[in-house]
Each structure stands twice: as C-alpha cells, then as structure tokens.
C-alpha cells in the first residue's frame, strides 16, 4: 500500500518536473488550477530599432539615424573587439564591462541589424530575454518563478493582468551590473525635535522641563 502511494508520489513529481521543461517566459503554472478566466501576463518589449544616431540633424531638426547595416555591410567584422575603449572610429563612449566576451558573442557578424544566439541563429535586437537567458539560465528560471525581474499588476490573475519587465529594463547589456546603492545613516533629527512624532519642541514643552 505504502509502496503504491510512494510510486504515485514519485510519478507526480516526475511529471511536474517534465512539464517544467516547456515553461515559457511569464507562463504562470500555479494559478491555472484556480478556475475562472485568467488575464494575460505581458512581458514588456521595448521598441529597439537597428539604428544609430549620426549626431547630425535633418532639415526638420530631427536626428539623422542610420541602419547598422549601412556601415557594417562594407566592413569586415572584428571578432576580437571586446572593449569600449578600443573603439576609435565609431561608437566611441560605449561603456563595456560584461565578462570578457567579445562584441560578436551577442551581435550577429552576418547581419549587424540583429543579435545572434549561441547556435548562430539571428534574433531581433529587442529579444534580449532570449539572448540573456542562454547564459544566465539561473536568473531566467528565477524570473519565470517571479523571484527576479519584478512585476506590476495582479497576483491573482483572475482579477486582472500583469506586466513584467524584460532583462534590459534593469540591466544595460553592455555593462549589466546593477548599480550598487551605498547605505547611509538616516538624516539626523534637528536638535529639540522629536524624531518619532516630528512634533516641534514648542508643542512638547512639558517633556523638557
């Protein structure tokens, strides 16, 4: 009897584990059993175009943008490039600090308008979630479980939808370290002021007598 229950338990565990293989970004597994219609979980997709500003303005005063391919179609890719400070001809000032990876471990040397996955397939510039998750599987798993990346909206998806950030909302792909915040002491209360109530000294005359 106990053996049968045991086998059933293991089977249930295994099937949950197998199901977890096809998790998709933002898919919510725990809420599905609640019944009722579930509102969607939307992952923000920033509108990133494969364009850079030339620094010049057109006749209407708008910045002149050029496609990556305009220049890169006529240039040999530099597979060694791995630092911002080495860029002298263009993209000067690009701050880069992301392990010791080269630029072309993420950018697609076949088509600079796109990024590339580890297997060489091209993905759009704004598909950072797919890109980052290949190397940061741990954070991606945490993201899917709601422990990384934050969200706004409803916990209970039967009541309303939810919006989730994408990786580059918080991390610059070129220098992804989240800026550290230095803890400081809270401001000192002004002498004579009661910090707990923010009362002025005059309203508490009796305390000081």
Nearer to ligand HEC, 131 or 157 (CB): 131
Spell out, one character per residue from 94 to 113, where the chain touches ligand HEC: x when CB under 6 A holds, - when not: x-x-xx-x-xxxxx----x-
Q: Which of 111, 133, 146, 193 binds ligand HEC (CB under 6 A)?
A: 133
At its nearest, how many Å lie between ligand HEC and the CB of residue 37?
A: 27
Nearer to ligand HEC, 120 or 187 (CB): 120
Interaction between residue 178 and ligand HEC (CB under 6 A): yes
Residues in the chain: 209
Residue pair 154/161 in contact by the 8 Å Cβ criterion:
yes
User: In 48-86, which positions are buried (b, 16+ CB within 10 angstroms) versus exposed (e)?
Assistant: eebeeeeeeeeeeeeeeeeebeeebeeeeeeeeebebee
The CA distance from 169 to 134, in Å, is 18
The CA distance from 106 to 115, in Å, is 6
Using alpha carbons, select from 197, 178, 109, 146 the residue that is nearest to residue 27. Answer: 146
Q: Rg for the chain (alpha carbons), in Å?
A: 26
Assign 143 to helix, strand or coil: helix
At its nearest, how many Å lie between ligand HEC and the CB of residue 20?
A: 16
Of the ranges 3-11, 142-150, 152-160, 191-199, which one interacts with ligand HEC (CB under 6 A)? 142-150
Q: Which of 124, 148, 163, 204 binds ligand HEC (CB under 6 A)?
A: 148
Which residues of the chain form contacts with ligand HEC (CB under 6 A)?
48, 50-52, 66, 68, 70-72, 77-78, 81, 83-84, 87-91, 94, 96, 98-99, 101, 103-107, 112, 115, 125, 128-129, 131-136, 139-140, 143, 148-150, 165, 167-171, 173-174, 176-178
């Amino acid at each position: 009897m106990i053996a049968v229950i045991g086998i059933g338990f293991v089977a249930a565990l295994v099937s949950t584990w197998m199901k977890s293989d096809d998790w998709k970004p933002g898919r919510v597994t725990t809420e599905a059993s609640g019944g009722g219609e579930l509102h969607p979980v939307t992952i923000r997709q920033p509108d990133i175009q494969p364009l850079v500003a030339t620094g010049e303005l057109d006749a209407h005063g708008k910045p002149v943008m050029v496609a990556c391919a305009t220049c890169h179609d006529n240039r040999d890719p530099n597979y060694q490039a791995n630092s911002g400070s080495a860029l002298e001809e263009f993209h000067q000032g690009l701050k880069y600090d992301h392990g010791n990876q080269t630029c072309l471990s993420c950018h697609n040397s076949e088509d600079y308008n796109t990024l590339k996955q580890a297997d060489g397939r091209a993905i759009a510039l704004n598909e950072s979630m797919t890109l980052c998750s290949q190397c940061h599987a741990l954070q991606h798993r945490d993201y899917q479980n709601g422990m990384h990346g934050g969200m706004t909206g409803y916990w209970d998806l039967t009541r309303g939808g939810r919006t989730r950030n994408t990786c580059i909302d918080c991390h610059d792909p070129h220098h992804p370290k989240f800026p550290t915040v230095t803890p400081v002491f809270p401001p000192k209360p002004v002498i004579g002021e009661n910090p707990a109530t923010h009362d002025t000294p005059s309203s508490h005359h009796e305390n000081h007598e």
